[in-house]
Structure 1
């Protein structure tokens, strides 16, 4: 990270407005029509599995995870992951990913899904969900539906509709 002092910490409720402004700047208002946002409408991110990146007091990145189910199997939906454009290309996104996935595994989660760019996310172990094994609530490019198993064979036998984990509904 060069000479910049980066801090990655669990998201707290007081981070919500700053994260929302960051998401607005990096993704714009069109993000609300995406399938992944339909899932986010019903459950909040798990703060102990969602993280912020700061340089000093400046919020420069955020990653969130929320509880979902694929059929009857509990999983996490990762995202959004975002980094302020001037700070991209410095490894902040990867550090956020590693922290989020590491904490999820430590806390006993087995499976994480996301909608994103395979070349980027494959660097930390994500791969395409096999065609027809999972469906999103709305239109999605299924070539971008990815998963990582935090435990060997966690996706074996998993299939069905991806939905919010209603145990965590707002």
Structure 2
């Protein structure tokens, strides 16, 4: 049985180890990490899924700005290899998106694969510019309220 709960300070290093395991070396050199530097994550949306007290999956969110608009930057999300293929990543995405909606956030964005994230409603964001080097085809967004991305354009920058 998996226990899903907000990530606590005691989970930090285990979650970082999971990300190191699941992602290529140098993951912190990606442009999305520059948007996170010195900015605290949105704690209520950062979740861990634990089995017998061991982190099996994790998801984090960060506040960003797109032009003048506030948004959430989803990521990273990772599932330990022993739990991949069980739907845990999908569950973490769906649950956290619903928590974001309930908390009053209007929009979520990420850098990822459209075929995977499209099943959750994410679509390419035209006119939203991530810091380079980022493939614009991989910049995806989800409106948490109808029309929340309409007219939102510009560079993605760190939240103040």
User: In 2, Cα distance between the equivalents of 1:128 and 1:32?
Assistant: 23
Q: Residues 39-67 of structure 1, C-alpha deviation per residue, up to 9 Å, x if partnerless?
A: 11131211101100111211011000010
User: In 1, Cα distance between the equivalents of 2:9 and 2:96?
Assistant: 17
TM norm structure 2 = 0.97
How many matched pairs? 160
Q: Residues 101-156 of structure 1, C-alpha deviation per residue, up to 9 Å, x if partnerless?
A: 011000000000000111111111101112xx111122101111100000000001
Q: Does 1:110 align with 2:106?
A: yes
User: In 2, Cα distance between the equivalents of 1:146 and 1:94?
Assistant: 16
* Residues 10-89 of structure 1 mapped to structure 2, 5 A cutoff: 10-89=6-85
The aligned residue for residue 148 of structure 1 is 142
* Residues 84-103 of structure 1 mapped to structure 2, 5 A cutoff: 84-103=80-99
Q: Does 1:137 align with 2:94?
A: no
Gaps of 5+ in 1: none
CA RMSD of aligned residues (A): 0.9
Gaps of 5+ in 2: none
Q: How far is 1:10 from its partner?
A: 0.8
Mean Cα deviation higher: 113-122 or 34-43: 34-43
Please state whether the residue corresponding to 1:121 is helix, strand or coil: helix
